[in-house]
Amino acid sequence: MLADMSEGEGATFKFACPNCGLHIEYLQTDAGRETNCPNCQDAIVLPVSAAAIIPPPVIAPPLPAPPLSAKPQPTRAVRSWKDDPATEKQLDYLKEIGYVPPGPLTKGDASRLIDQS
Ligand SMILES: [Zn+2]
């Protein structure tokens, strides 16, 4: 099987015996087959994927993620009480002082108007 060195049969894979480290070359068509290491006779399975055989070149570890300087800013981090609609109490008070709001008031607007009154 492994002695068949005829060319043109397809790609060959190289595989290092996990037991003794002997480099075994085999045809792609033999991938997945169980065999015995010619050196140590250890039962080995010829890997199907070349990626599993030849370790990829050492790639520099990914750079540490840059500090999150550009944190996504929520347009409105925290809803302020000032954005809540004015309370009945505030509206009553404003009515009392003769202020007629042109539209819906927020608590912030109402309290500002009340402060100014
Ligand atoms: Zn071996």
* Measured distance CA(101)–CA(47) in Å, rounded: 79
Ligand 1 center to 49 CA (angstroms): 19
Q: Is 3 helix (H, G, I), strand (E, B) or coil?
A: coil
Residue of 76 and 101 predicted with greater confidence: 101
Task: Measure the N-to-C terminal CA separation of the chain; round to a whole number of Å.
Answer: 99
Within 10 A of 82 (CB to CB), how many other CB atoms are there? Answer: 12
Residues 83, 102: Cα–Cα separation, whole Å: 17
The pLDDT value given to residue 1: 52
Domain ranges of the chain: 12-53, 81-116
d(CA 2, CA 10): 14
Residue pLDDT, tens place only, 1-57: 555 554 555 788 898 999 999 999 999 889 999 999 999 999 999 988 755 555 656
pTM above 0.75, yes or no: no
CA-based nearest residue to 113, from 97, 104, 103: 97
Helix (H) or strand (E) holding 53: helix 50-53
Q: How far is the CA of 39 from the centre of ligand 1 (A)?
A: 5
Ligand 1: centre distance to CA 57 (Å): 23
Please check whether residue 42 is in contact with residue 82, taking contact to mean a CB–CB distance below 8 angstroms.
no
Q: Residue 113 C-alpha to ligand 1 middle, in angstroms?
A: 88
The predicted-structure confidence for 96-116, as pLDDT tens digits, reads as follows: 999 888 888 899 999 999 898
Question: Which tokens hold the place of 60?
Answer: 């520099």
Q: How far is the CA of 86 from the centre of ligand 1 (A)?
A: 82
